[in-house]
């Protein structure tokens, strides 16, 4: 078979727009180029504004992970002003952030990822009827249950954050809402209901039992709930081998609290963990329609190349750490945090990424319950931070999809520099000057493509296994 | 044109019971502020009218409108609305992908020519011939014009489609442009907010589908039933405003007492929306209730009014420059001054009241 060129896109059921260009030869992808075709220019609009405006503007980069953006902006402002948030405020911020992240994991699994297994190309498989029944797009039973459970869980966001998406409650000094004893009870009740849903529907068993799985083999023996259905499908289609990563992971550390992060920060490469050091971080623009040279986000700029030069193919910059690309997301977080199951899955493909997300879903429920139990209504939830006049700082958080950083520079009370590197910027980055592909581009190589198939389902699985958020990628 | 099934038939096919259907009709009537007499009318309309197809397209945006929409009010209303509109084409939720998706859009346009509602989330960027937002290899603005040509009416979801929203913030790097400045020959209903409240979205769409006409619009093209009152008018903290009791700093004693957030930059007094009545996340709360002022996200230009934490009266642009927008600024200035006067008057009244109380003692 001779080589063919495929353009897969627009991609539906991802947040935002995405196009993937594939060179196919001998029934498999030989090389891939990922294009983020949407640019809005947030980093440029922030220049010259009062620093606190970032708290309102940056969440609007993304309607899916607005709390992550808001948490990163608040952290960056606090860092620039040398301010420490009130510990209880930090706790509530962690709780509402965790709620957004688990909601995202649930939405991804139920509405975006699983519906592909209900496609007619899988009609002969033993699990197909069940997949259709549970997950057919917009009709499957799972979607309704998930939307309902998620909406009920988000009552906590209503309560503590006023509204979601685009919450305003998180500030550099803590949160604007001090929960009373009654709120604490309501939060606990909402969390209990969500646990019931997860245990009845998603996992079909105790969350602690799922979180206690420590090997790939033990994972594959999990039979109950929608997780069990996924694992059956994964075994049948060998999703572990599909879209394997390069085994380099990055996490900024999730839920910073007075006693450290709930999920540890760090790097994972060559099978070992290293401390997080971002001094070697640059954003490469050799294949992005951006002007300027490679720069650390602390000094970087965003200058779109309006000529859209031929050598480039995406609006997305390519973040590299010490010259290497890194994959980020739930799997990365769990590997770096040291969970034995995640470590066993490290370097894996579609199965590893989706199982990493399920594992985190199970573990985060317990974390949210702990956070809510530790709320002390009499404490202070905000230690107000004065507006920053001069300074620079980074806000590093973990969104559902991975490491999110805001780098802020303030001069004379105005924003003089603002650079954002989002999780999908890492995962879906284009090539760098050395020609090294981004993580998705690398993962797509070797994916089988049937002759004449214009929207290869394998490519869909791999792309979605990263849970892309394109509106964040280029902002 | 092919026979289109009725709403009721669609709902039945989706497994919704007669009882749920009737419940839904009463919910809708009350949500839209219509009396119980309208319940049978709504039911009759839905049993006999062919379903109105909806095409939902996405431009420059953040998907917050879709996120808000799928979390709609009553679980029942959400189920029914989702099944009712069936979203013949929805980028975020549909099953088809790639070329199949493009084909589905084209087929829907052809099949329901002149009869479908086009729901737009986000807006087209016009700089560089629209290259900052590409859908299916073409600028979004082309998809928008194409889909709008045969639409019966257009819904502009959210601040992006209605006004431009944050991506239009100065210097508006991509020249993000609201829908009504690109499509000028179709009825457009604006449902602003960032995002709009889920119940407002389902309410508007239900009204249009049920009664087959646009709801009553205000001068800005917003449905009057949800946008005719200021947040301030129905704010539960309003008594504190009138009493001159304000939060001075985040989480201070007054914040714990639930005093008014005006001094923290609340834009409730100049913002028309239903947040203080309908509230958010299934009626649980709204920003002011969580201790943060309103930022006025359903108002045109909310993103470029000086700092979000500036008090309304100190908005810097007032009267600074004479530009083409002078009239608009001047009007806004009057509102600001009005508020200052309003605060002063309220405090004054309180003082008088105190004096009177003393005299009575």
Which CATH number covers residue A327? 1.10.645.10
The answer to the question of whether B294 is labelled as a binding residue is yes
Given pLDDT bands bounded at 50, 70 and 90, which one contains residue B360? Answer: very low
Residue A43, annotated as binding a ligand: yes
Q: Is B76 on the interface with A (CB under 8 A)?
A: no
Query: Are the Cβ atoms of A168 and B292 closer than 8 angstroms?
Result: yes
On chain B, the residues whose CB falls within 8 A of the CB of A176 are 250-251, 255, 290-292
% chain A with pLDDT above 90: 79
pLDDT computed for residue B359 by the predictor: 42
Gap between the Cα atoms of B315 and A370, Å rounded = 43
**Are the Cβ atoms of B280 and A164 closer than 8 angstroms?**
yes
Residue A471 has pLDDT above 80, yes or no: no
The reported pLDDT for the residue numbered B165 is: 92
* Residue B97, pLDDT score: 59
In this complex, which of A60, A157, A384 lies closest to B166 when CB atoms are compared?
A60
Task: For residue B194, list chain A residues with Cβ-Cβ distance below 8 A.
Answer: 60, 166
Q: What is the mean pLDDT of residues A433-457?
A: 91
Lookup result for tokens 């070797």: A446
Q: Given this model, what pLDDT does residue B104 score?
A: 78
A with B: how many residue pairs have Cβ under 8 Å apart? 231
CA distance A214 to chain B (A): 34
Give CA–CA dist A124/A132, Å, rounded.
12
Which parts of A140-253 are beta strand (E)?
170-171, 174-175, 249-251
Q: Taking CA atoms, what residue in B is nearest to A385?
A: B250
pLDDT tens-digit map of B280-336: 887 889 999 999 999 999 999 999 988 888 887 643 333 333 333 343 344 444 444
How many domains does chain A fold into? 1
Task: Look at B251 and A384 and tell me if their CB atoms are within 8 Å.
Answer: yes
Instruction: Place A36 in a pLDDT band, splitting at 50, 70 and 90.
Output: confident
Q: Please give the pLDDT value at position A328.
A: 98
Quick one: tokens of A195? Answer: 């646990």
Q: Which pLDDT band holds residue A178 (cuts at 50, 70, 90)?
A: very high
Taking contacts as CB-CB distances below 8 angstroms, the residues of chain A near B65 are 63
Domain of A135? 4-473
Of A17, A19, A52, which is closest to B308 when you measure between CB atoms?
Answer: A52
- Closest approach of A362 to chain B, Cα-based (Å): 23
Please give the mean pLDDT across all residues of chain A.
93
The band of B94, judged by pLDDT with boundaries at 50, 70 and 90, is: low
Which of B78, B134, B256 lies at the smallest CB-CB distance from A17?
Answer: B134
Of A162, A306, A471, the CB nearest to B290: A162
- Among A70-74, A298-302, B103-107, where is mean pLDDT lowest? B103-107
pLDDT at A336 over 70: yes
pLDDT at B74 over 80: no
- Distance (Å) from the alpha carbon of B294 to chain A's nearest alpha carbon: 9
A339 is in an annotated binding site: no
Quick check: B167 contacting A, CB < 8 Å? yes
For residue A176, give the nearest of B172, B250, B282 by CB distance: B250
Q: Which long-range contacts (CB under 8 A, 24 or more apart) does A370-373 make?
A: A371/A91, A371/A92, A371/A94, A371/A95, A371/A98, A371/A255, A372/A95, A372/A184, A372/A187, A372/A188, A372/A191, A373/A188
User: Binning pLDDT at 50, 70 and 90, where does residue A31 land?
Assistant: very high
Burial level of B301, CB count in 10 A (0-12/13-18/19+)? Answer: middle
Asked if ipTM goes beyond 0.90, one says no
Q: Which of residues 189-218 of B touch A (CB under 8 A)?
A: 194-195
CA–CA distance, B55 with B278 (Å, rounded to integer) = 27
Of A118, A154, A455, which is closest to B99 when you measure between CB atoms? A455
The answer to whether the beta carbons of residues A422 and A58 sit under 8 Å apart is no
Residue of A nearest to B122 (CA): A16
- Which residues, 6 or more positions from B268, have their beta carbon under 8 angstroms from its beta carbon? B230, B231, B232, B235, B261, B262, B276, B288, B293, B294
CA B116 to each of CA A76, A201, A391, B107: distance values in angstroms, whole numbers, following the listed order: 46, 37, 53, 12
B171 contacts chain A (CB < 8 A)? yes
CB contact under 8 A, B64 and A118: no
Q: Which of residues 13-42 of B touch A (CB under 8 A)?
A: 14
Q: Write down how long chain A is.
A: 475
Residue A199 C-alpha, separation from nearest chain B C-alpha, in angstroms: 21
Q: Does B167 sit within 8 Å of A42, measured CB to CB?
A: yes
Residue B76 confidence (pLDDT): 52
Q: Mind listing the pLDDT tens digit for each residue in A107-157?
A: 999 988 999 999 999 999 999 999 999 998 767 789 878 888 998 999 999
Indicate the residue of B100, B127, B292 with minimum beta-carbon distance to A455: B100
**pLDDT, tens only, B250-278:** 989 999 999 999 999 999 999 999 999 98
pLDDT (average), residues B213-235: 92
Q: Domains of chain B (ranges plus CATH)?
A: 7-225 (3.40.50.700), 231-360 (4.10.480.10)
Chain A residue whose CA is closest to B167: A40
């Amino acid at each position: 078979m001779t080589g063919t060129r495929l353009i897969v896109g627009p991609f539906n059921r991802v947040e935002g727009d995405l196009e993937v260009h594939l060179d196919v030869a001998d029934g498999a992808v030989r090389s891939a180029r990922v294009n983020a075709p949407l640019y809005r220019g947030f980093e440029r609009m922030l220049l010259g504004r009062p620093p606190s405006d970032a708290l309102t503007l940056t969440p609007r980069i993304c309607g899916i992970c607005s709390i992550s953006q808001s948490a990163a902006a608040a952290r960056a402002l606090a860092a620039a002003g040398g301010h420490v948030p009130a510990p209880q405020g930090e706790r509530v911020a962690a709780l509402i952030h965790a709620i957004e992240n688990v909601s995202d994991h649930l939405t991804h699994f139920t509405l975006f990822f699983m519906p592909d297994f209900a496609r007619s190309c899988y009609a002969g498989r033993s699990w197909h009827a069940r997949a259709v029944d549970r997950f057919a797009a917009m009709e499957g039973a799972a979607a309704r249950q998930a939307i309902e459970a998620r909406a009920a869980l988000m009552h906590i966001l209503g309560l503590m954050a006023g509204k979601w998406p685009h919450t305003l409650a998180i500030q550099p000094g803590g949160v604007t809402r001090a929960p009373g004893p009654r709120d604490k009870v309501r939060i606990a009740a909402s969390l209990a209901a969500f646990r019931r849903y997860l245990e009845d529907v998603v996992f079909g068993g105790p969350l602690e039992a799922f979180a206690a799985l420590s090997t790939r083999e033990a994972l594959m023996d999990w039979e109950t709930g929608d997780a069990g259905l996924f694992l059956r499908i994964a075994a049948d289609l060998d999703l572990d081998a599909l879209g394997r990563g390069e085994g380099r992971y990055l996490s900024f550390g999730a839920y910073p609290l007075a006693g450290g992060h709930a999920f540890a920060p760090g790097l994972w490469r060559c099978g070992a963990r290293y401390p997080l050091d971002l001094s070697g971080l640059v954003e490469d623009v050799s294949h992005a329609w951006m002007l300027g040279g490679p720069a650390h986000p602390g000094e970087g700029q965003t200058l779109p190349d309006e000529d859209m030069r031929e050598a480039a193919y995406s609006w997305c910059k390519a973040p590299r750490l010490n010259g290497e690309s890194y994959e980020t997301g739930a799997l990365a977080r769990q590997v770096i945090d040291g969970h034995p199951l995640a470590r066993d899955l490290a370097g894996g493909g579609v199965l590893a990424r989706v199982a990493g997300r399920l594992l985190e879903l199970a573990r985060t429920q317990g974390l949210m319950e702990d956070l809510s139990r530790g709320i002390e209504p009499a404490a202070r939830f905000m230690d107000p931070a004065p507006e920053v006049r001069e300074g620079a700082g980074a806000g590093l958080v973990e969104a559902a999809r991975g490491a999110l950083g805001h780098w802020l520079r303030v001069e004379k009370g105005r924003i003089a520099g603002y650079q954002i590197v989002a999780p999908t910027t890492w995962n879906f980055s284009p090539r760098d000057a050395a020609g090294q592909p981004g993580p998705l581009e690398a993962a797509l190589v070797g994916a089988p493509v049937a002759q004449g198939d214009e929207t290869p389902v394998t490519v869909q699985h791999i792309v979605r296994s990263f849970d892309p958020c394109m509106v964040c990628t280029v902002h | 044109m092919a026979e289109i099934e009725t709403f009721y038939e669609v709902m039945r096919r989706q497994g919704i019971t007669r009882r749920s259907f009737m419940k839904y009709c009463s919910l809708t009537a009350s949500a839209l502020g219509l009396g119980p007499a309208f319940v049978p009318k709504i039911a009759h309309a839905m049993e006999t009218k062919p379903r109105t197809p909806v095409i939902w397209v996405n431009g420059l945006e953040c998907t917050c409108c879709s996120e808000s929409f799928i979390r709609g009010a009553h679980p029942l209303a959400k189920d029914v609305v989702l099944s009712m509109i069936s979203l013949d084409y929805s980028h975020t939720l549909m099953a088809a992908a790639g070329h199949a998706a493009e084909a589905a859009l084209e087929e829907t346009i052809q099949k329901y020519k002149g009869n479908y509602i086009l729901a737009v989330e986000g807006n087209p960027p016009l700089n560089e011939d629209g290259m900052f937002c590409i859908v299916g290899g073409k600028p979004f603005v082309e998809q928008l014009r194409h889909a709008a040509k045969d639409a019966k009416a257009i819904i502009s979801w959210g601040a992006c489609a209605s006004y431009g929203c944050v991506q239009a913030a100065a210097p508006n790097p991509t020249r993000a442009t609201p829908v009504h400045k690109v499509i000028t020959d179709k009825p457009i209903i604006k449902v602003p907010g960032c995002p709009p409240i889920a119940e407002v979205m389902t309410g508007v769409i239900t009204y249009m589908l049920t009664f087959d006409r646009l709801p009553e619009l205000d001068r800005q093209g917003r449905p009057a039933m949800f946008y005719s009152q200021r947040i301030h008018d129905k704010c539960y903290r309003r008594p504190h405003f009138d009493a001159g009791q304000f939060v001075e700093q985040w989480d201070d004693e007054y914040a714990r007492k639930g005093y008014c957030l005006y001094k923290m930059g609340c834009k409730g007094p100049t913002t028309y929306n239903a947040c203080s009545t309908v509230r958010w996340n299934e009626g649980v709360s709204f920003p002011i209730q969580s201790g943060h002022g309103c930022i006025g996200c359903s108002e045109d230009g909310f993103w470029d009014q000086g700092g979000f934490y500036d008090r309304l009266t100190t908005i810097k642009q007032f009267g600074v420059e004479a530009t083409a927008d002078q009239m608009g600024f001047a009007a806004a200035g009057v509102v600001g001054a009005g508020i200052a006067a309003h605060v002063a008057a309220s405090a004054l009244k309180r003082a008088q009241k105190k004096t009177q109380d003393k005299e009575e003692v």
